[in-house]
């Protein structure tokens, strides 16, 4: 498995290089940040300032040279200059990555646990009222746009706060700017209070589709010969479900979860904007709207690494979940 | 067991559904009579009340969280890269300035910093500032003429020149947001132990009150001197390298780390999130800060501001108003708001680089006459602010001394189709009302009308223009611009007609130089008129403000006749705050509502 892992990582490197070059070309040609700088300020900047800005962001260099300087710079920890002159892109990227990881990890964990629980329950109670209810909500959450659901949840959060006379549920940011009584416990509950709504928003979209996968997969496994054999051998139902059926049924979910990381990161763009979390999603929006080439590239590179990494993890999980699969 | 599970599922379903329904229903208000529009800030729209509305005595304590719509990356607001509205607001809480623009568009001397600031001579123009004897930075260093000298020398464009081409980082030099005025100063000298500052100008400067302030406050010279190794109190002899060091330091360093001089001091800056201010015990000013804590919170999505206000996560917001946003705020209990007319004004620009538009003045006049600004207002901003009217000047807005309506009498913006057609017929255009052609038989148009994508108001403005010009026989196509591409389109002249906004200034002559003079940095459409250039130059050098305004209006009249830019209306501004706080006011100049944060506080 080690050889397989190393081989997969090595194959990923040229994929990353080619994809970043293509994206670099697209980003560089998607607008002119120098013209934007020259026209978006009042009073209009002097010619010296415009020239200095162009030099600062390397807009005076040929595209290929810029790409080469960028990619070699990244290898040395230099992520390139931002249109925001004092911004350290590397520091910004990893600070925001931590924020997004918190959100995405919490959302994925909740979505996975709920998806497995409800998916299995739905499969075991096929065509029951509970199954129909879970199916109904699954499709409802799938159909709802994230931004709309997020706004609705915010209103629900405010309503709960008003009814309880508290301010437990936060609608903006990862934490409050200050606490009246600054204790560790208060800080913990404050962070949890700010995590609830965006996590639910992000989790429910994935939960909806993952529940459907789990249900379908579980139904297929329950109908298989080896499960019937296990039951016929007199094994207890709980043991058959957990050791034999569920383990096999989780294989497709592992694939889907790994592949969905790109969708979840996409969902984080919207969630972070609405809940004003200063994570990777907000970074992409800011970079795109300010034509910040190197900041956009930093986002794309890290996202690509995460997606490739998760795909590799999914492949490796197959072997863990299914003893029949072996990598040479 | 199955029945129990179903009951559980039904219970959960019901609870979830109920919560969402209740939430949706609750967004319309909680039943408490809302006070928006009836108290507090509502009086700000009354004539003559702009500077005194929402006043009240305050009591000690409380936290007020005010929204900034952008992060601050660069802390030198005098620098061209740091010159942002948000940076100005964050810094004016802690750094002093001589003249401060007020909500009624006048400028008032900051008596906490200077006891007087006067022009004592006209030839050469001489300005004398008497610094308040108590004025000092909070590390105990007195504020003196040295701070003024440092300001002048970093902003004149000569003593601290721009970075050389050899500097790959482009950081070894000063790039002031404007050298206007500072480049005309001959000398800045101190007397009375540095507490009297005398400024002698090389050339007269009309807008002298914008020097050393007006949104661009003083930085502590002694901090720059110390870190650059210069002699203390001797900014006059700092080298370019030393001035640059200070300039760079103030770019990178939030004011938590150096001496400041305001009613509050910045206690904490969390990048991309918030600034926390607490009262500065060293503040010498007449009014002491009463809030326990003042917070500026970064919220970059304006649509989330009313929700945060409702949830009491912020107590004051200053977003660009839109119908939905205003209606949401109206429904929040305990919140007062005001819609004011700001210094930002919307306009249609014609690209005179287009051979047809550039050649025929009569065509441009007819196009502007056919456009109905009344319709535009009614279908856009008039929906939430019935007070919006056609703007009649390119340099002043109503409320500013010098404002004259020079546009309405010409019929431009009236939507008078008959008059527009007559202008064309008189100028020998053919196909009027069907397919317009120039006197030499060339087709007029089709023209594109460009607006920033996603801006519903500007899209509607282009649609109305399209319809109005269609009546003249001019075909217009509507072509949106990518959110970040406005600069590219303007600088590259990639438009025939474009709608966007300018920010007028309490100091209009320097603005006019940029926007209307031949080759000016903001003159994207290529307008050029020697007489206008001459009049604006005279206005800039005129020390009598009334005469300066008259010269600008003479230039404006010529510009109206040239029909290059059609002013539409002043963009409304919107300030909302909780009614338990007082003294916040809608200052729609470049300094924003934060111009008087020292007075904000809990209502007694």
Contacts of A224 (CB under 8 A, 6+ apart): A248
How many angstroms separate the CA of residue A21 from the nearest CA in chain B?
Answer: 22
Q: Is B60 left (phi over 0), alpha (psi -120 to 50) or beta?
A: beta
| pLDDT > 70 fraction of chain A, expressed in percent and rounded | 98
pLDDT at B10: 43
Q: Taking the CA of residue A54 as centre, how many other CA atoms within 13 Å lie in the half-sphere pointing to its CB?
A: 16
Helix (H, G, I), strand (E, B) or coil at B143: coil
**Residue A154 and residue B485: Cβ atoms within 8 Å?**
no
Tell me the Cα Rg of chain B. 27
Whose CA is closest to A83, among A232, A267, A279, A296?
Answer: A296
CB atoms within 10 A of CB B180: 22
**Alpha carbon A303 to chain centroid, angstroms:** 9
**Residue A87 and residue B5: Cβ atoms within 8 Å?**
no
A178 contacts on B by Cβ (under 8 Å): 63, 276, 293, 295
Quote the tokens at residue A128: 């029951």
Q: How many CB pairs under 8 A join A and B?
A: 199
pLDDT at B97: 97
**Residue A36 and residue B157: Cβ atoms within 8 Å?**
no
The CA distance from B168 to A59, in Å, is 12
Omega within 30 of 0 (cis) for the link into A274: no
Lowest mean pLDDT among A92-96, B93-97, B500-504, B551-555: B500-504
Quote the tokens at residue B378: 């009614």
Contacts of A188 (CB under 8 A, 6+ apart): none
How many angstroms separate the CA of residue A5 from the nearest CA in chain B?
Answer: 38
User: What is the ipTM metric for this complex?
Assistant: 0.85
* pLDDT tens-place string over residues B585-597: 999 888 999 999 9
pLDDT at B403: 93
* pLDDT tens-place string over residues B151-203: 999 999 999 998 887 776 777 889 888 888 999 999 999 999 999 999 999 99
Quote the tokens at residue B217: 């406050």
The CA distance from B291 to A24, in Å, is 49
Residue A313 predicted with pLDDT over 60: yes
CB atoms within 10 A of CB A172: 24
The CA distance from A40 to B521, in Å, is 11
Residue A211 in contact with partner chain B when CB distance is under 8 A: no
Question: Which sequence spans correspond to the domains of chain A?
Answer: 17-77, 89-319
pLDDT at A43: 67
The CA distance from B259 to B136, in Å, is 10
CB atoms within 10 A of CB B119: 16
Please measure the distance between the N-terminal and C-terminal CA atoms of chain B and give it in whole angstroms. 61
Q: Which of A85, A275, A278 faces B272 most closely, judged by CB atoms? A: A278
**Contact between residue B120 and residue B128 where contact means Cβ atoms under 8 Å apart:** yes
**Residue A177 and residue B27: Cβ atoms within 8 Å?**
no
**Residue A46 and residue B301: Cβ atoms within 8 Å?**
no
| DSSP bridge partners of B349 | B498, B565
The CA distance from A256 to A206, in Å, is 10
Lowest mean pLDDT among A15-24, A92-101, B365-374, B511-520: B511-520
Write phi, then psi, for B586 (nearest 5 degrees): -85, 90
A270 contacts on B by Cβ (under 8 Å): none
Residue A57 predicted with pLDDT over 50: yes
* pLDDT tens-place string over residues B234-291: 999 999 999 999 999 999 999 999 999 999 999 999 998 999 999 999 999 999 999 9
Residue B32 predicted with pLDDT over 70: no
CB atoms within 10 A of CB B47: 7
Sign of the alpha-carbon torsion through B410, B415, B419, B420? positive
**Alpha carbon A135 to chain centroid, angstroms:** 24
**Alpha carbon A212 to chain centroid, angstroms:** 20
Residue B2 predicted with pLDDT over 90: no
A44 contacts on B by Cβ (under 8 Å): 514, 520-522
**Residue A171 and residue B313: Cβ atoms within 8 Å?**
yes
CA distances from B428 to B236, B321, B473, B513 (A): 64, 44, 14, 35
**Residue B276 and residue A178: Cβ atoms within 8 Å?**
yes
Show the CA angle centred on residue B375, arms to residues B374 and B376, nearest 5°.
90
The CA distance from A157 to B153, in Å, is 53
pLDDT at B35: 36
The CA distance from A152 to A201, in Å, is 10
* pLDDT tens-place string over residues B91-102: 999 999 999 999
**Mutating which of B5, B18, B23 best tests the A interface, going by the most A Cβ atoms within 10 A?**
B23
The CA distance from B183 to A164, in Å, is 61
Residue A143 in contact with partner chain B when CB distance is under 8 A: no
* pLDDT tens-place string over residues B407-445: 999 999 999 999 999 999 999 999 999 999 999 999 998
Quote the tokens at residue B44: 């700000």
Closest-CA residue of chain A to B248? A86
CA distances from B335 to B63, B103, B331, B577 (A): 16, 20, 9, 6
Helix (H, G, I), strand (E, B) or coil at B597: helix
Residue A179 in contact with partner chain B when CB distance is under 8 A: no
A187 contacts on B by Cβ (under 8 Å): none
The CA distance from B170 to B162, in Å, is 8
pLDDT confidence bin for B233, thresholds 50/70/90: very high
pLDDT confidence bin for A142, thresholds 50/70/90: confident
Residue A215 predicted with pLDDT over 50: yes
Helix (H, G, I), strand (E, B) or coil at B189: strand
Q: Which of A31, A52, A177 faces B295 most closely, judged by CB atoms? A: A177
* pLDDT tens-place string over residues A104-141: 999 999 999 999 999 999 999 999 999 999 999 989 88
Instruction: Give the predicted TM-score (pTM) of the model.
Output: 0.85
The CA distance from B584 to B601, in Å, is 9
pLDDT confidence bin for B11, thresholds 50/70/90: very low
pLDDT at A269: 86
Q: Which residue has the higher pLDDT, B8 or A325?
A: A325
Q: Which of B312, B313, B492 faces A35 most closely, judged by CB atoms? A: B492
**Alpha carbon A78 to chain centroid, angstroms:** 25
Omega within 30 of 0 (cis) for the link into A43: yes
Buried-exposed string B457-492: b where 16+ CB fall within 10 A, e elsewhere = bbbbbbbbbbebbeebbbebebbbbbbbbbbbbbbe
Choosing among 3.10.105.10, 3.40.605.10, 2.40.10.10, 3.40.190.10, the CATH entry for B344-571 is: 3.10.105.10
Contacts of B540 (CB under 8 A, 6+ apart): B205, B206, B207, B509, B510, B512, B513, B548
Q: Taking the CA of residue B161 as centre, how many other CA atoms within 13 Å lie in the half-sphere pointing to its CB?
A: 5
Residue A272 in contact with partner chain B when CB distance is under 8 A: no
**Contact between residue B207 and residue B181 where contact means Cβ atoms under 8 Å apart:** yes
The CA distance from A111 to B154, in Å, is 56
Residue A126 in contact with partner chain B when CB distance is under 8 A: no
């129909």: which residue's tokens? A132
* pLDDT tens-place string over residues B513-529: 878 998 877 788 999 99
Q: Mutual orientation of helices A146-164 and A247-275 as an angle, nearest 10°?
A: 70
Residue A225 predicted with pLDDT over 50: yes
A295 contacts on B by Cβ (under 8 Å): none
pLDDT at B70: 87
Helix (H, G, I), strand (E, B) or coil at B175: coil
Q: What is the 3-state secondary structure (H, E, C) of chain A?
A: CHHHHHHHHHHHHHHHHHHHHHHHHHHHCCCCHHHHHHHCCCCCCCHHHHHHHHHHCCCCCCHHHHHHHHHHHHHCCCCCCCCCCCCCHHHHHHHHHHHHHHHHHHHHHHHHHHHHHHHHHHHHCCCCHHHHHHHHHHHHHHHCCHHHHHHHHHHHHHHHHHHHCCCCCCCCCCCCCCCCCCCHHHHHHHHHHHHHHHHHHHHHHHHHHHHHHHHHHHHHHHCCHHHHHHHHCCCCHHHHHHHHHHHHHHHHHHHHHHHHHHHHHHHHHHHHHHHCCCCHHHHHHHHHHCCCHHHHHHHHHHHHHHHHHHHHHHHHHHHHHCCCCCCC
Q: What is the 3-state secondary structure (H, E, C) of B193-258?
A: CCCEEEEEECCCCCCHHHCCCCCCCCCCHHHHHHHHCCCCCCHHHCCHHHHHHHHHHHHHCCCCCC
Closest-CA residue of chain B to A155? B23
């569920």: which residue's tokens? A246
* pLDDT tens-place string over residues B106-162: 899 999 999 999 999 988 999 999 999 999 999 999 999 999 999 999 999 999 998
**Residue B26 and residue A52: Cβ atoms within 8 Å?**
no
Q: Which of A32, A49, A173 faces B162 most closely, judged by CB atoms? A: A49
* pLDDT tens-place string over residues B457-478: 899 999 999 999 999 999 999 9
pLDDT at A308: 86
A53 contacts on B by Cβ (under 8 Å): 81, 170
CATH architecture of A89-319: Orthogonal Bundle (1.10)
- CB < 8 Å from B in window 38-97 of A: 38-46, 48-49, 51-53, 55-56, 81, 84-87, 95
Closest-CA residue of chain B to A282? B300
pLDDT confidence bin for A328, thresholds 50/70/90: low
**Contact between residue B157 and residue B183 where contact means Cβ atoms under 8 Å apart:** yes
Q: Which of A133, A152, A162 faces B20 most closely, judged by CB atoms? A: A152
Whose CA is closest to A160, among B311, B313, B10, B331?
Answer: B311
Mean pLDDT across chain B: 89
How many angstroms separate the CA of residue A103 from the nearest CA in chain B?
Answer: 17
């Amino acid at each position: 498995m080690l050889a397989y892992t190393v081989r997969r990582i090595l194959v990923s490197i040229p994929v990353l290089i080619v994809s970043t070059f293509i994206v670099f070309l697209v980003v560089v040609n998607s607008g002119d940040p120098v013209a934007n700088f020259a026209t978006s300020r009042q009073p209009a900047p002097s010619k010296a300032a415009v020239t200095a800005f162009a030099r600062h962001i390397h807009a005076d260099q040929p595209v290929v040279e810029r790409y080469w300087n960028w990619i070699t710079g990244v290898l040395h920890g230099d992520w390139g200059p931002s249109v925001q002159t004092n911004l350290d892109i590397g520091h910004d990227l990893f600070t925001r990555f931590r924020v997004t990881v918190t959100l995405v990890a919490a959302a994925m964990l909740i979505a996975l646990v709920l998806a497995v629980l409800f998916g299995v329950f739905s499969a075991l109670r096929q065509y029951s009222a509970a199954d129909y209810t879970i199916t109904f909500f699954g499709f409802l959450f799938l159909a709802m746009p994230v931004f709309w659901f997020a706004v609705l949840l915010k209103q629900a959060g405010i309503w709960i706060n008003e009814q309880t006379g508290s301010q437990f549920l936060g609608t903006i940011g990862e934490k409050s700017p200050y606490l009246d009584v600054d204790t560790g416990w208060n800080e913990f509950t404050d962070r949890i209070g700010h995590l609830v709504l965006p996590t639910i928003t992000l989790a429910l979209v994935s939960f909806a589709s993952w529940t459907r996968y789990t249900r379908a997969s579980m139904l297929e496994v329950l109908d298989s010969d080896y499960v019937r054999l296990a039951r016929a051998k007199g094994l207890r139902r709980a043991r058959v479900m957990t050791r034999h059926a569920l383990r096999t049924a989780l294989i497709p979910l592992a694939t889907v979860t790994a592949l969905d990381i790109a969708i979840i990161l996409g969902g984080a763009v919207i969630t972070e904007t609405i809940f004003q979390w200063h994570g990777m999603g907000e970074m992409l929006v800011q970079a795109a709207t300010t034509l910040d080439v190197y900041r956009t590239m930093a986002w794309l590179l890290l996202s690509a690494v995460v997606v490739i990494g998760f795909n590799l993890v999914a492949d490796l999980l197959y072997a863990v979940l299914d003893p029949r699969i072996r990598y040479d | 067991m199955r029945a129990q599970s179903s009951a559980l599922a039904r219970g959960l379903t019901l609870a979830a559904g109920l919560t969402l329904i209740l939430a949706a229903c609750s967004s319309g208000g909680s039943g408490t009579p809302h006070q928006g529009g009836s108290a507090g800030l509502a009086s700000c729209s009354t004539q003559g009340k702009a500077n005194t509305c929402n006043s009240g005595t305050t009591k000690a304590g409380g936290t007020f969280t005010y929204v900034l719509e952008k992060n601050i990356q660069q802390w030198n607001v005098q620098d061209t890269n740091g010159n942002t509205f948000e940076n100005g607001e964050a810094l004016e809480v802690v750094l002093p300035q001589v003249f401060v623009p007020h909500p009624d568009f006048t400028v008032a001397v900051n008596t906490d910093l200077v006891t007087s600031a006067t022009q004592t001579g006209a030839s050469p123009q001489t300005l004398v500032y008497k610094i308040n004897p108590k004025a000092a930075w909070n590390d105990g260093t007195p504020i003196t003429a040295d701070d003024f000298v440092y300001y002048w020398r970093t902003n004149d464009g000569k003593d601290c020149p721009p970075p050389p081409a050899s500097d790959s980082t482009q950081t070894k030099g000063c790039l002031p947001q404007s050298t206007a005025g500072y480049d005309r100063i001959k000398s800045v000298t101190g007397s009375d132990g540095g507490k009297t500052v005398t400024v002698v100008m090389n050339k007269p400067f009309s807008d002298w009150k914008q020097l050393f302030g007006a949104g661009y406050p003083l930085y502590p010279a002694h901090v720059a001197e110390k870190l650059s190794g210069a002699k203390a109190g001797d900014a006059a002899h700092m080298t370019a390298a030393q001035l640059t060091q200070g300039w760079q330091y103030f770019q990178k360093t939030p004011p938590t780390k150096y001496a400041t001089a305001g009613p509050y001091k910045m206690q904490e800056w969390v990048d991309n999130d918030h600034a926390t201010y607490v009262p500065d015990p060293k503040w010498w000013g007449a009014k002491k800060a009463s809030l326990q804590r003042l917070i500026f919170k970064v919220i970059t999505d304006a649509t989330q501001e009313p929700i945060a206000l409702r949830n009491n996560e912020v107590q004051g917001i200053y977003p660009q108003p839109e119908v939905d946003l205003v209606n949401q705020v109206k429904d929040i209990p305990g919140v007062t708001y005001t819609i004011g007319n700001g210094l930002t004004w919307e306009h249609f620009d014609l690209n005179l680089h287009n051979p047809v538009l550039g050649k025929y003045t009569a065509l441009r006049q007819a196009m502007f006459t056919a456009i109905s600004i009344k319709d535009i207002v009614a279908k856009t901003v008039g929906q939430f602010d019935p007070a919006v009217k056609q703007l009649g000047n390119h340099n002043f807005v109503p409320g500013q001394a010098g404002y004259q309506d020079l546009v309405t009498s010409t019929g431009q913006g009236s939507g008078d189709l008959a008059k527009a057609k007559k202008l064309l017929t008189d100028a020998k255009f053919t196909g009027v009302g069907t397919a317009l052609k120039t006197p030499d038989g060339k087709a007029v148009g089709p023209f594109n009308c460009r607006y920033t994508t996603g801006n519903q108001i500007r899209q509607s403005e282009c649609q109305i223009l399209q319809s109005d010009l269609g009546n003249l026989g001019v075909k217009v196509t509507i072509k949106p611009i990518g959110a970040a591409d406005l600069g590219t389109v303007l600088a590259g002249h990639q438009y025939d007609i474009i709608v966007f906004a300018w920010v007028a200034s309490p100091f209009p002559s320097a603005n006019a130089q940029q926007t209307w003079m031949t080759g000016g940095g903001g003159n994207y459409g290529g307008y050029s008129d020697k007489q206008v250039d001459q009049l604006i130059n005279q206005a800039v050098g005129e020390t009598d403000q009334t005469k300066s305004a008259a010269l600008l209006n003479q230039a404006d009249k010529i510009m109206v006749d040239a029909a290059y830019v059609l002013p539409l209306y002043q963009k409304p501004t919107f300030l909302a705050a909780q009614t338990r706080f007082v003294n916040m006011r809608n200052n729609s100049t470049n300094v924003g509502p934060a111009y008087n944060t020292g007075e904000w506080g809990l209502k007694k």
